[in-house]
Structure 1
Amino acid sequence: MRISFLHTMESNEAVFGLAASKAGWSPDQIRHVVRADLRQAMEQQAPSSGGAHKLVHGVLRELASDADAVIVTCATLGPAVDTMAASPCRFIRADAALAEAASRSGKKLAVLCAVESSIAPNRTLFERYAANTGASVTVQLVPGAWALYQEGKHAACMSTCAQAAGQAHADGYDVVIYAHPWMAGAEGLAGNECRPMHGAKAALDAVRTAGA
């Protein structure tokens, strides 16, 4: 099975590439494409215009031409993925795969976000899937994490994310979720009892399930 990844951040290539390697995919089975311009087009698109969606659709069709599944790692592209025409290739939103998996994993979910503008979209997304299982959703901002990430202070950023995850676990949340794929680097830092979920693993698990 071949997988193509569509990123809008270069750093996500390493995150998803490492997750794919851990999941057993070899380098010749995966392909990465980074298109920051797609995120910019989606952010600038007027509500009544479908131009950005068409641009994303064109890239998705190209990636699907030699792949069994295409994983879209940027949540901003999600609405365009949802309007994509049916295809033999499976298109998977990493954020939606994560929300679905989390809603099936427990009853009290804590979604950790690093960017304030991402809180409302994540609340909407996770509550949509949680409604099917009866889970409750709390979305929390991790103060300082995004600033550290932008400054290139990777270790401090991951430590901050891990501390927030550990605190959420201590507060009684049975599922802790890292909303942004780049937070996956903090996966093993929150202690043995807290293993936060992240989009890279959830998306690859969804590919496995679809191909089973």
Structure 2
Amino acid sequence: MPRIACLHTFDSNAAVFEEALRATGLAGVSLQHTVRADLLAAAEREGRLTSDIAEETVAVLRGLSAQADAVLLTCSTLGPAAEAAAPDSPVPVLRVDAALAAEAVKAGGRVVVLCAVETTVEPTRHLFEAAARATGAAVSVEVVPQAWAAFKAGDPERYRELVARAAGAAKAAGATRVALAQASMAGAAALLPETERPLTSPTVGLAAAVAASRG
């Protein structure tokens, strides 16, 4: 039974990934959840992912690898730390948005990636632009105004509504694909008609982690 260790920066993301696991229908997979809200809080204070924060995240990821078949970092702001941890890890270490980026740019065209928090923008831009080089997709990364304030104020309904509104507007403006960069944004997809729903990271990221754990 594959054991996937998930490193979150918000408690609520544990439930998001348990729901994603049910949605994927992947049988016999066990999720282990570790929450380190302090890592994202530090990045927000600094305005970016600093080398010290990245090093601490790498240490946590490597620690989780000791009792798992794969490790999944679910915070997009900290994403580059997964790439730094992977080479010396005994098991695969993945960032949840890597599979999202590959899927979003696959068909080329204009891809709009929505973020809620400013610190996610640069790591997300680098990830998606790198993936887009193979397909010629044009990537635009945008922040949803007021969304993160709603999330941090404990108003998930408004958070999802703001994200869904921005995703719908991007699609209406001609985006080939719309992707939600942060795992916490996933619930917004259900507020839109099926034909307009953006791509979200939990299901594709989990599927990638399970596949990696099985070699």
TM-score normalised to structure 2 length: 0.84
Q: Deviations over 1:129-163 (max 9, x none)?
A: 11121111112222222222222222222122112
Alpha-carbon distance change, 170 to 39 in structure 1, aligned in 2, over 3 angstroms:
closer
Alpha-carbon distance change, 202 to 149 in structure 1, aligned in 2, over 3 angstroms:
same
Structure 2 CA distance for aligned equivalents of residues 26 and 87 of structure 1: 25
- What SS does the aligned partner of 2:5 have? strand
Are the equivalent residues in 2 in contact too, given 1:43–1:76 (CA < 8 A)? no
Structure 2 CA distance for aligned equivalents of residues 50 and 174 of structure 1: 35
Alpha-carbon distance change, 189 to 43 in structure 1, aligned in 2, over 3 angstroms:
closer
Structure 1 segments (4+ residues) deviating >4 Å: 25-28, 40-45, 49-54
Q: Does 1:3 align with 2:11?
A: no
- What SS does the aligned partner of 2:88 have? coil
Are the equivalent residues in 2 in contact too, given 1:114–1:146 (CA < 8 A)? yes
Which stretch of structure 1 is more off in the superposition, 24-33 or 82-91?
A: 24-33
Alpha-carbon distance change, 144 to 107 in structure 1, aligned in 2, over 3 angstroms:
same
Structure 2 CA distance for aligned equivalents of residues 70 and 129 of structure 1: 21
Q: Does 1:36 align with 2:37?
A: yes
Structure 2 CA distance for aligned equivalents of residues 41 and 114 of structure 1: 17
Gapped runs of 5+ residues in structure 2? none
Q: Deviations over 1:41-60 (max 9, x none)?
A: 66678x9x965444333322
Q: For residue 57 of structure 2, what is the aligned residue in structure 1?
A: 56
CA RMSD of aligned residues (A): 2.6
Are the equivalent residues in 2 in contact too, given 1:42–1:53 (CA < 8 A)? no
Gapped runs of 5+ residues in structure 1? none
Structure 2 CA distance for aligned equivalents of residues 193 and 35 of structure 1: 35
Alpha-carbon distance change, 58 to 153 in structure 1, aligned in 2, over 3 angstroms:
closer
Structure 1 CA distance for aligned equivalents of residues 192 and 116 of structure 2: 16
Shift of 1:35: 1.4
Are the equivalent residues in 1 in contact too, given 2:74–2:95 (CA < 8 A)? yes
Q: Does 1:87 align with 2:104?
A: no
Q: For residue 155 of structure 1, what is the aligned residue in structure 2?
A: 157
* Paired AA for residue 183 in structure 2: P
Shift of 1:33: 0.6
Higher relative contact order (CA 8 A, sep 6+): 2
Q: Does 1:18 align with 2:19?
A: yes
Structure 1 CA distance for aligned equivalents of residues 197 and 108 of structure 2: 13
Are the equivalent residues in 1 in contact too, given 2:163–2:188 (CA < 8 A)? yes
* Paired AA for residue 152 in structure 1: G
Shift of 1:103: 1.6
Q: For residue 132 of structure 2, what is the aligned residue in structure 1?
A: 130
TM-score normalised to structure 1 length: 0.85
Are the equivalent residues in 2 in contact too, given 1:7–1:35 (CA < 8 A)? yes
Structure 2 CA distance for aligned equivalents of residues 51 and 166 of structure 1: 37
Which structure 2 residues correspond to residues 134-149 of structure 1 after superposition, within 5 A? 134-149=136-151
Shift of 1:91: 0.6
Q: Deviations over 1:168-192 (max 9, x none)?
A: 1111112111111111011121212
* Paired AA for residue 172 in structure 1: G
Alpha-carbon distance change, 166 to 86 in structure 1, aligned in 2, over 3 angstroms:
same
Q: Does 1:98 align with 2:65?
A: no
Are the equivalent residues in 1 in contact too, given 2:177–2:198 (CA < 8 A)? yes
Indicate the percent of aligned positions where both proteins have the same amino acid.
41
Q: For residue 74 of structure 1, what is the aligned residue in structure 2?
A: 75
